[in-house]
Amino acid sequence: MMRFCGIVVIVALAASGCMNPTEAKKELGDAHKLWDDGKKAEAVEKYEKVIKLQLQVIDLPDRPMVFQRVIEWRVERGPKSVAQEFIGKALDNNVPLTLTDPKAQELLAQVKQEREGKIVQEQERQAHREQEEREQKVKLETEQQELDTPLKVTAEEIFKDYEDNEINAKKKYRAKQQVEVTGTINSVDTVFLLGTPYVLLKPESTLLTGVQCMFTKDDAQRLATLRKGERVTVKGRFQHKLGNVVIGDCELVGAADSGSPTTKTGDKPKLAALRAVVDKLATFPGPLTSEDDRKKYNDELRPLVDQFVDMKFDAQANRKEAEEIIDLYQKRIENRFKGHFANLLEAGAAQIVADLRK
């Protein structure tokens, strides 16, 4: 089977015009002899065959001579295109050409000039491509910067822009354009079947449609504190307008024009004190099972509980920190002292939660 495969390979190589090094050397020797005998046409055919199939068998010092014979013969007898082909092969393989025939020398100069022209053209094309790539990169970066720069608008302004000139509005509110939209909450709901939460900001100028701000399910707890009629600011990416204007990847920036600043620096010391109370409560051993525990509670812990209950601050303006403190209380304290003074702690926590949900 192996012998058969070898025969197939040899036959295939022969059919495709391939030549092994041994055959090429014999062909080269025959070509030299034919040239010396004056049979130049036959010699040139063999030279051409060796150059095309096994150039490496021609010793480096002999290559200029072999190429010279082929090129000058083809310049004289034709076709000229074959002479050009072998000039190209010589240049590609760094073979120094020593042509003596004036017409061959002229053709060599022409081929070199054409090649140099192609190199210059390719360099110019490459420079042009690189310039286009740089310009495209700058354009994309500029467009991305524009998309990432929030347009601060109201829900009313968006709908007015579309009513005034929808073509201009589409240019202004492009897909993925970041926007900060301020508006009045009409509803807080979820998408049917998907369960994705959203807040609908409804302008006064529309009957049914509004700005639909899409959030993630992770935002559901935060959105549960919002109420209809509240005016808020939402940051997100513009998606499209089809009835509603849809804003994706939303986050709640905060309450707007609520009559007080969105943050109250005067409440920060109270928040810090409240967190300190929770930390102290968390270090107290529990549950209270003995008289000593109860005495320690009355002497040490009760004042802390009173601080917790009596702590007053604007939870609505400091929503995030207040939620973190309540979460900390529920995880670290509530379950440890249930049934003893948990009702007092819960009273304080309930008041904060109530403030958060106003």
Phi, psi of 62 (to 5 degrees): -90, -15
**Burial label, 291 (beta-carbon count in 10 A; 0-12, 13-18, 19+):** exposed
CA distances in angstroms from 169 to 66, 137, 206, 240, listed in the order given: 74, 26, 17, 11
Q: Mean pLDDT, to the nearest integer, of 6-26? A: 64
pLDDT band at 328 (very low <50, low <70, confident <90, very high): low
Q: Mean pLDDT, to the nearest integer, of 177-206? A: 90
Which tens digits make up the pLDDT trace of 209-244? 899 999 999 888 888 888 888 999 999 999 999 889
Taking a C-beta distance cutoff of 8 angstroms, is the pair 285, 293 a contact? Answer: yes
Asked if the peptide bond before residue 79 counts as cis, ω within 30 degrees of 0, the response is yes
- Residue 64 is predicted with a pLDDT of 96
CA distances in angstroms from 9 to 17, 170, 268, 285, listed in the order given: 12, 67, 88, 89
pLDDT band at 19 (very low <50, low <70, confident <90, very high): confident
CA distances in angstroms from 197 to 200, 221, 222, listed in the order given: 10, 10, 11
What is the distance in angstroms between the CA of the first residue and the CA of the last residue of the chain?
90
| Angle at alpha carbon of residue 293, lines to 292 and 294, rounded to 5° | 90
Q: Structure tokens of 348? A: 């304080």
Structure-token match 């807080």, residue found:
188
- Residue 224 is predicted with a pLDDT of 87
Which tens digits make up the pLDDT trace of 104-148? 999 999 999 999 999 999 999 999 999 999 999 999 998 999 889
Least confidently predicted of 162-171, 211-220, 300-309: 300-309
Q: Mean pLDDT, to the nearest integer, of 70-98? A: 94
More confident residue, 248 or 353: 248
Which tens digits make up the pLDDT trace of 239-275? 999 889 999 999 988 664 443 333 344 445 555 666 6
pLDDT band at 201 (very low <50, low <70, confident <90, very high): very high
- Residue 25 is predicted with a pLDDT of 95
Please name the residues in contact with 208: beta carbons below 8 A apart, sequence gap of 6 or more. Answer: 243
- Residue 134 is predicted with a pLDDT of 94
- Residue 340 is predicted with a pLDDT of 44
Query: Quick one: DSSP state of residue 97?
Result: P
Q: Mean pLDDT, to the nearest integer, of 321-350? A: 53
Phi, psi of 254 (to 5 degrees): 155, 175
Res. 335: pLDDT tops 60: no
Res. 184: pLDDT tops 70: yes
- Residue 301 is predicted with a pLDDT of 59
Q: Mean pLDDT, to the nearest integer, of 292-320? A: 58
Res. 8: pLDDT tops 90: no
Query: Quick one: DSSP state of residue 181?
Result: E
Cα separation, 186 vs 183, in Å, equals 9
**Burial label, 232 (beta-carbon count in 10 A; 0-12, 13-18, 19+):** buried
pLDDT band at 102 (very low <50, low <70, confident <90, very high): very high
More confident residue, 213 or 285: 213
Identify which of 197, 176, 183 has the alpha carbon closest to the alpha carbon of residue 152: 183
Least confidently predicted of 30-44, 90-104, 298-312: 298-312
Identify which of 21, 45, 50, 23 has the alpha carbon closest to the alpha carbon of residue 35: 45
Long-range CB contacts for residues 299-305, cutoff 8 Å, separation at least 24: 301/341, 302/341, 304/277, 304/280, 305/281, 305/341, 305/344, 305/345, 305/348
As a whole number, the mean pLDDT across the chain is 79
- Residue 311 is predicted with a pLDDT of 55
More confident residue, 18 or 246: 246
Query: Quick one: DSSP state of residue 265?
Result: G
Please name the residues in contact with 162: beta carbons below 8 A apart, sequence gap of 6 or more. Answer: 169, 241, 245
More confident residue, 269 or 54: 54
Q: Structure tokens of 253? A: 């920036």
Which tens digits make up the pLDDT trace of 88-99? 999 999 999 989
